[in-house]
Amino acid sequence: MNNSLLVVLIASGVAYGTPLLYAALGELLAERSGVLNLGVEGMMLGGAVMGFWAVERVHAGTAITLAAALGIAALVGALLASIHAFLVITLRASQIVCGLTLTIFAGAVGLSSYLGNGLNLADIPARKTFNPVFPGGMQRLPVVGPIVFGQNILVYLSWLCVIAIWLYLSRTRPGLNVRAVGESPAAADTMGINVTAYRYAHTLAGGAFAGIAGATITLALTPQWVNGITGGAGWIAIALVIFSFWRPELCLVGAYFFGALQALAPQLQARNISLGPTVLWTNALPYVMTILVLVVVSSGTARRRLGAPAALGNPYVREEH
């Protein structure tokens, strides 16, 4: 029963969806403060390569090594995000062009490739990886075994992050301030909220999440480093934020749905199921579905209750408001 296609798809959908979820949560934080960061793909690749590097170089117990790797990945993501933050918040550059530049700078033909090749990380398996945490007996339970108990710690941490971010944005003073900054920075400024500080903090936090998302790929999902390993996951994560109407709990649902779509290609190939050009359509499915869902979400009635932060993409200059 646990080998049925549906159960395996849901279980691996959760696994494949976890990097998407981390990246989307990070982008959600940045966008809620009014900063659009299209550099997610680049920041993920930065986190992916440096997280992998840490696991190869840090010689300590498994738990400490992996924690250090996550910390380094988050730091790299935040550092890359700080470039974006400085340029768009302080120097008021175009958020769209700057985010794209960040992806090009850090991405598959830039920094991540420079670091990965320079540090000789290609074509070696990860020394330590994130493995399922629950005992084998629990993992063999029907249905819930592989889906709920067969996951690694990063999956459970991501659930905590969803709850924490949901509580933060809806129940705490700083969380409400972030929303004010994203909706109407001028009003927030009048209330005495430091718009610049909030935007910096959340853009950097978004970068840290993207870095962890990258490390999730190289240390848990496919434990190795290959140039351009994210394969567009960062862009799907940005789209996820739109589908989820900027709400963390819906990010989770969307991430697992797209995770399952990504898991479909290897599963069908492993089972020798073919329907026409299977490799082509199963690999293209996540991208095509993302586009279709974007169209549904952005047109008609859905648009009215979209919930996009009103000041998303606009620099805030006190003298010009």
Partner 1 sequence: MHVAVERRLRQPRWLAVVVPLGSIAFAFFVAALVLLATGIDPLSTYRQLFDAGFIQSGSLDQTLITTTPLAFMGLAAAAAFRVKLYNIGAEGQMYMGAIFGSAAGLYLGGRGGAAPLPIAAMVVAGCAGGCVWALIPGVLKAFFRTNEILTSLLLNYVAGLILTYLIFESESYWRETKGFNATVFPTGKPLPPSSVWPGWTLHAQGGVTVPLGAFLAVLAGVVVWGLHKRTRFGFESQVLGDSERAARYAGVRIRRKILAVMALSGAVAGLGGASQVGDFAHALDGDPNGLQKIGYGYTGIVVAALARYNPFATLLIAFLIGGLQNAGSTLQGPSFPAGLVGVLQGIILFSALGGEILVRYRFRISRRSKGEAASAAEPAS
Q: Which of 3-11, 19-27, 110-118, 216-224 is the region at the interface with partner 1 (rule: CB under 8 A)?
A: 110-118
- In the region spanning residues 18 to 77, those forming contacts with partner 1, defined by CB under 8 A, are 38
User: Which one among 71, 175, 223, 231 touches partner 1, defined by CB under 8 A?
Assistant: 231
CB of 81 to partner 1, least distance (A): 13
Per CB under 8 A, does 235 bind partner 1? yes
Q: Which of 56-64, 145-153, 230-238, 251-259 is the region at the interface with partner 1 (rule: CB under 8 A)?
A: 230-238
How open is the CA angle 16-19-20, to the nearest 5 degrees? 85
Closest CA to 145 of 263, 9, 11: 11
How open is the CA angle 237-111-24, to the nearest 5 degrees? 10
For residue 314, give the H/E element and its range: none
Report d(CA 321, CA 312) in Å as an integer: 15
Q: Which of 61-69, 151-159, 170-178, 278-286 is the region at the interface with partner 1 (rule: CB under 8 A)?
A: 278-286
Per CB under 8 A, does 319 bind partner 1? yes
Closest CA to 84 of 17, 33, 24: 33
Per CB under 8 A, does 284 bind partner 1? yes
Report d(CA 1, CA 284) in Å as an integer: 28
Closest CA to 203 of 49, 50, 34, 19: 34
Binding mask 152-171 for partner 1 (x = CB under 8 A): --------------------
DSSP letter at 54? H
Nearer to partner 1, 149 or 225 (CB): 225
Nearer to partner 1, 64 or 294 (CB): 294
Per CB under 8 A, does 244 bind partner 1? no
Report d(CA 57, CA 233) in Å as an integer: 26
Answer for the pair 263, 15: CB distance below 8 angstroms, yes or no. Answer: yes
Q: Give contact residues for partner 1 (rule: CB under 8 A).
A: 38, 83, 86-87, 91-94, 96-98, 100-118, 228, 231-232, 235-236, 238-239, 242, 277, 279-280, 283-284, 287-288, 290-291, 294-295, 298-299, 303, 319-320
